[in-house]
A and B are shown apart, each in its own frame.
Chain A
């Protein structure tokens, strides 16, 4: 029997700023006395993100050489069970590769039978590159946004108001049910909105 906990999936296309946002959220929530665990996945043989997360003093488990939504699905389930049972986390962040599909990871989490009190799916979107990614990798862009609770439109420091509005409109059209927030993870601007949503979830909110 595991303690009550939240699982937060932070997905998003390659280079959208998932790791930067997650490190900031992990530090903020850790500073509130919560136990934070991170499972990070890289498509290649070498883990850069895990090394960075560790360098900031957060606890992470790294899964490399494949994607947890397909080739490493079994590894994710095993790792989730170990982290849930041994670490007794209040929140487990899962950062998949930038080409992972949230709907598939949600299925893997459900079938892992790891007991948890809530799940929040966040998709990080790069406001600067979103139009090009939508044009060149529409399938991924669409499917990464479709199955999440919150879309974090990141890197707002790189775009003007017109492009930001276009991106907000695009993601709202692709997932009308999701909450859309704008932020700059690099500058720490707007991250408090995501933190509030997570804290609310940890307290039994939506």
Chain B
């Protein structure tokens, strides 16, 4: 298997797991906040000359999950909302971006650059990043 499909596709990717807590937003605001972040990531990746393959996330809480997906910014965010509770105080967000024409590092920087948008609703921590508080 000498061909590397990622190289052949000239694709860059980055994924991360985020743990959030103290989410102050109710369900509608929480979903809007996530949609704003994934839209920002997608637009920024396009602005840098990439063709979006797939930008997607799943946020899981004790009260269900919400999945979001962007494949083309003209179509906006496709959302599958299975959150049963109004309040979703803590949980995890798994986020993944694959883009044609950009390097892994560029995708990583772009995704990380949009994370502060989450602070409008919640405190968060990226898995693998050191910090001194409990999760």
Contacts and interface: CB of A to CB of B under 8 A. Distances in A.
Interface of A: 13-15, 42-48, 51-52, 55, 64, 67, 69-71, 73, 97-101, 104, 108, 126, 128-129, 132, 136-137, 139-140, 158, 186
A99 B6 contact: yes
Categorize the interface residue count of chain B.
Answer: 35 or more
B58 A43 contact: no
Interface in B67-105: 67, 69, 71-72, 75, 78, 82, 94-98, 100
Contacts of A45: 14-16
Contacts of B71: 14-15, 126, 129
A75 B97 CA distance: 23
Interface in B38-86: 51-54, 56-58, 60, 65, 67, 69, 71-72, 75, 78, 82
B9 A70 contact: no
Chain A contact residues: helix, strand, loop or mixed: loop
B53 A44 contact: no
10 contacts: A14-B98, A42-B15, A46-B94, A51-B60, A67-B6, A71-B4, A98-B53, A99-B6, A136-B100, A137-B51
B5 A97 contact: yes
Contacts of A126: 71
Contacts of B58: 48, 51-52, 55
Given A14-B71, A51-B60, A43 B6 contact: yes
Given A44-B14, A99-B11, A140-B8, A128 B95 contact: no
Contacts of B11: 43, 99
Contacts of B72: 15, 128-129
Contacts of B96: 42, 44, 46-48
A98 B51 contact: no
